Every structure is written in C-alpha cells, then in structure tokens.
Amino acid sequence: MNGMKAQHPSSILMLKRKRALEACDSCRKQKTRCLAGPPDDEDRTCLRCRSLQLECSLAKFNQTLRKPDGDALESSAAVILNVNLEKRLKVLEKAVSSLSTSALHARPTYPSEDIYLNGILSLDEIELLLDIFIERYGKRWLSLDCTGAEYLEFLYRKSHLLLVTACVIALRHNPSLKARVYSQLLDIVDLLVSQELLTASPSLQFFEAVSILSLYQPLRYVQKQDLWLLSGFALRHRILSSTQGWFNGFVGSRSTLTYLDIVPARTWNHLCHAHLLMCIGYRRHAMLEEPTFDECRNILTNCQASEFDGNILGMLSVYSMLYRLLRSSFDLDYAIFQLEEWRKEWCHLWEQPEPVYSQVAYFYAYNVVYEVGIQMTSDTKHLANIAEYVGMLETYALKTVNAIFELSAYDMSRCSDHVLFHAAFACASMLRLMYAAKTKDIGSLAVQTELLNEVVTKTWKWLLLISVDQYHFATKFATYLKEYQSTVNEADPDTFLSSAKSGSSIVPSSSDPTSTPSTWYRGPPRAVSDATLQGIKPYNLGVATVEHG
C-alpha cells in the first residue's frame, strides 16, 4: 500500500490488534474509539487523550513495559527517574495552568490544518471519505491496498496535505458533506501546499497529493492554485532536492528494483503525465527536459509493473512527441510518420482489459496534427490536399470521442480532467468543421455535418451526466460545446458571405484556389460568451496551432 507495507514492523498498519484490548482507560470509559500509537513508540498517547490534554493510560503502561538497553540496574533506575521527572513536570504544568481561570476554561487550539481536532469532520466521516477515495482513485493512482481506517491512521501521522486532498476528491461523491465542508477543506489544501513548497525535502505524500490535484482539479469557478505551475514546481523540487533518493524506481540500479521502489516511480510518472498534458491543454511550456520524461520508461524493468503503468507510459510518449511537434518547424508527413512509429510500439496496450487511455491519446494527437496541417496548408497556399486533411481530421475527432464512450460506466464516473479535455477538444474540432462546411470553405463539401452535430450533442449531454457540480470541468466543457453548437447551427451563411465581400473576412473562391483565407477552419469569430470562455480556463479549446518559442 503505497510504500506503507515496507515500513518498520512497528508501523500502526501492521498491528492486527483487537481494539477493545488496546483502548485506554479514558476511551474505554467513554466507549469511544481509541487511536493509539504502535507499541514501540515512546509516547503511545491516543488521539483523544492528546487532543483533550488527558493523561493516557496506554502511555503510562508502555513506559512500564519498555526494556532499556545497557546495564539493567542503571537503565532501570534511569527509567524510574525519567518517569518521576515526567510526573513532576505534568504536576507543575497543571499547577501553572490552574493559575489562570481563563486558561482553565478555554477551548484547546489546534493547528488549522487538523480537520478532525478542529471539528470539521468526524472520524467516521473521514473514514467514509477515505474509503471512497481508495476505491475510486487511490487503488489506481496511488497503489493503495488498505481500508479507510488504516489509511487514516497512516496519513494522520504522515501527511495532513494528502489526508485533506483525499477527502476533497472523495467529496465529489458525497453531496451532503460537500455542501458543508468543501470550501473549508479547499482553504486548508491551499495553506498546506504553500507550506510544503517551502520545505527543503517534501515527503512522498506531497508529490502524491500534487499528482491527484493535477488530475482532478478542485471544484472552483476560478482556480486559486495554478496547477501547471504547482506540478512543475513539484517536479523541479524533486530533481533539485534531497527527495531524489527515494525515487529509486527510475534513478536506482535497474537490477535492484523491488515493489517498494515502484510506488514512488509510479508517482513520478503520474506527475509527469499530468504536467505534460496540462502543457498541451493550457498551451504552455514544460518545466522538464525531454530526457527526464524518457526516464519514466525504467519502471517497465520492474516485475510489478502493471497494464496501467504501460498506459501511462504510452500516453507520456505520445504527449511528449506531440509537444515537440508543436514547438518546431511543423511537417505533417513527419508528424504522421512519428505517430505511426508510436502505434507500432504501443498498440499492444489496446488488446489488454485495462481501459485504453493510450488509444484515446493517440487519436487525440492525430486530431491535433491534422488540424495544424490544415492551418499550415492554408497559410502556404498549397490547397490540393485540403479535402484529404479535412476527412482525416473528421475521422480522428470521431475516433477520439468513440474511444472515450467505450469506457465502462465505472471508469467514466472517475474520468480525470484530461480525458474530459480530449472529448471537448475533439467536439470543438467537429464544430469548426461544421462551420467550415456551412460557410463553404475549400475542401469542406464532404463534411458530415448531421453526424457531427449528433456526436457533439451526445458528448455534452454525457458530460452533464457525469458532472459533479457547476464547477466541475465536465459542466464547463459541456456549457462551452452547447453554446458553440448553438452559434454554428444558427449561423447564416449568406450573412457570412456578404460580410466577407465587404472585407470583414476572406472567403476562398473556387475560381481563385490560391487565395489565402485568414479564418479557414477556425470557427466563428465569437463562438461562445466571455463568461463561458473564462470558465474553461486555463484549458484552451481553440484551433490547434504551432507554438513557436
């Protein structure tokens, strides 16, 4: 379980104890659950006694049983002396606190990030949310294999950031709790992320939290955290800081890889995958060098690598290829050659039972490549192949959406934001084709406008069906597509053509095939409202172009 099974045998997750026998006197009297530390901890004070500042019988019992090393008589005397000193210190602390009546009746204050001690969520509610998180997200993305109660005990001591992040993501599936505590938990996530970024050596759980946040963005109208920036900082942090040592899944000797190594290696791959796709979806630069992405392949040398690991690597490979193609002197034939070479290497993944996310990425890459090809051809006046490119663009846009619709209902319910983006971008390409056919752009005569219109409608309805709330990207993308579709369907081609003659646009003429239009296959000039456009940011669903620089 995410590296936890590799801990010292004293780990609280390794204890198969009966709770009734382990409860302290105070918890037993109140008949409440007792969360105590492992037997070899110096202080086994349970969570309830610690929060209420009570003397815990488990801690006292542990001190009595502890066997010190060294000379028996001297060490035993030292233990007795230490116990007596601790008792005296506690008496003095109580005496000092009793001098102030205000301090006596004041409610204890706890760190603002402690969602349990501050009463934001109860233990039962946290366990419920962690059970949801593990089942829907943790098993796949974090290699978890435990119960919510076990994960709570681990995270409460290890990482409040990952604990709160897991609860935030799970709240998508619990509307009643979400309405009550979601905004509070988001504020805590923001606070903890800011604190972790200032840490010299962040824990593995920090990188896991960032990868989850990058895959499933918090549900807000405007994001407070720039996740492209956050994921990039996390990746750079890992490279430059001392945390590099425990990413042995790819920086260590390949002959020594074990299951313990594969968890941080998976975390690294998932973080690279999320960051690189955000670079493409947001149209921004990557914060890592290309060789860094290539290092992700080393996970395949581990015998514990799964089909999902292969899918992640396949997507990383095609995204890095697409990223390079869009930032160089674009050549359509070379781009197609590269994609076909990728298919030869990775198409075996499509025959496996694991959802074929890599196939979706492959179709999406072709969608982008042909859309760029049309723009480049239009700009250079070589129009002979426009109709062929349009046909291929239509084909791969449809394939992208159809591949997503082949996912199971369960996989659809936990689609990452990136899968939703692929569906939305493919439909945006279809709408640009429909508009081109309506305005009679060269090569658009064969566009299947009715079929494309049906697929777009089916897609935005599906997005609304799986949406969590109005701030979910599924809702935002659906709103964008619905508005765009309405604009295209209501557009009057005669008005467009007449305005073109007046100089507001340049429309290609069959008698002058070498004319260079500035608006080919780019859709209407104002397809959606400013509010809708703002809602999908930082994603960009505009026509694909080469990003120089």
Residues 283-288: contacts with CB under 8 Å, at least 24 apart: 283/540, 283/547, 284/228, 284/538, 286/232, 286/323, 287/232, 287/233, 287/235, 287/236, 288/232, 288/235, 288/236, 288/239
Residue 229 lies in a domain: no
Give the residue from 191, 121, 180 showing the smallest Cα distance to 156. Answer: 121
- Predicted confidence at residue 53, as pLDDT, reads 67
Peptide bond preceding 538 in cis form (omega within 30 of 0): yes
Tokens representing 513? 């095939």
**How many Cα atoms sit within 13 Å of 493 on the Cβ side?**
10
pTM over 0.85: no
302 falls within a domain: no
Q: Write down the pLDDT at residue 41.
A: 60
Q: Please, are residues 165 and 209 in contact by the beta-carbon 8 Å criterion?
A: yes
pLDDT in tens, 440-473: 887 888 899 999 999 999 999 999 999 998 999 9
pLDDT at 117: 59
Quick check: is 467 in a domain? yes
Other Cβ atoms closer than 10 A to 93: 11
Tokens of 190: 């923001």
Task: Say what the pLDDT of residue 514 is.
Answer: 38
Domain boundary among 55, 78, 105: 105
The C-alpha atoms of residue 478 and residue 459 are separated, in whole angstroms, by 8
Give the tens place of pLDDT for each residue, 417-441.
999 999 999 999 999 999 999 888 8
**71 domain residue, yes or no:** yes
For residue 356, the model assigns a pLDDT of: 82
Q: Could you tell me if residue 163 is inside a domain?
A: no
Domain-embedded: residue 197: no
pLDDT tens for each residue of the chain, 549 residues long:
554 444 433 332 333 333 445 788 878 777 677 777 666 566 677 777 776 667 887 776 555 544 444 444 444 444 444 555 555 455 445 444 543 444 334 334 445 556 765 778 888 999 999 999 999 999 989 988 899 999 998 998 889 999 999 999 999 999 999 999 999 999 999 999 988 888 877 888 999 999 999 999 988 766 677 899 999 988 888 777 655 555 544 444 444 445 456 888 888 899 999 999 999 999 999 887 766 766 788 788 777 788 888 899 999 999 999 999 998 888 899 999 999 999 999 988 888 877 789 999 999 999 999 999 988 876 555 677 888 999 999 999 999 999 999 988 888 888 899 999 999 999 999 999 999 998 888 788 889 999 999 999 999 999 999 999 899 999 999 999 999 999 999 877 665 554 444 433 334 444 344 344 446 688 888 899 999 999 999 999 998 888 765
Residue 164, H or E segment: helix 160-170
- Cβ atoms of 286 and 279 within 8 Å: the answer is yes
* The domain boundary residue, chosen from 75, 105, 135: 105
Total number of domains in the chain: 2
The three-state DSSP-derived secondary structure of 218-236 is: CCCCCCCCCHHHHHHHHHH
Residue range of the domain that includes 449: 334-535
Alpha-carbon separation of residue 161 from 35, 156, 337, 368, 503 (angstroms): 20, 10, 44, 36, 57
253 found inside a domain: no
pLDDT score at 20: 43
Locate all alpha helices (DSSP H) within 381-416, ordered by sequence. 386-405, 409-413
Given 105, 120, 141, the domain boundary residue is 105
Q: What stretches of 449-510 show up as alpha helix (H) in DSSP?
A: 449-466, 473-490, 493-501
Q: DSSP string covering 58-80, please?
A: HHHHHHHH---SS-HHHHHHHHH
pLDDT in tens, 480-500: 999 999 999 987 766 555 444
225 inside domain: no
